[in-house]
Amino acid sequence: MSAESPATPEPGPDEGRSVPRIEDAYLDRAIREMHLLEERMDACMGCAASGTFPVKASGSPTADIMLIKWQSSLSERQEGVSFYGRSGEAVRRSVERLHVDPSALYGTLVLKCPHPD
């Protein structure tokens, strides 16, 4: 009795080709949408008329944790990035205490431009 080796299956249509993962597709879409939002914010003339600029989000657009504040602080307006300054330091200390990876956070503002109230 001779032992035959099992037949080698024919390569599938995707074998040897890089198949995009769903996570990659989500990341690509999130990046495209964030760029579109930033372009729209940059084109807005409301902030420029008052001598200010919109405050943009910070962190990864595919983060697991989203932080939302109502409006920007002075340091955030000066830097142009949300969760900068005291609020950013408070978040940083909290995530360190909780052993949360900072790249798992995304921070943004409801009001992108300064509000008089």
**For 41-81, what is each residue's pLDDT tens digit?**
888 877 766 777 889 999 887 889 999 999 999 899 889 89
- Annotated domain spans of the chain: 22-109
Amino acid code (one letter) for 54: P
pTM of the model: 0.68
DSSP secondary structure string, 18-78? PPPPHHHHHHHHHHHHHHHHHHHHHH-HHHHHTT--PPBPEE-TT-SEEEEESS--HHHHH
Overall fold of domain 22-109: Uracil-DNA Glycosylase, subunit E (3.40.470)
What is the structure's pLDDT at 95? Answer: 93
- The pLDDT value given to residue 21: 85
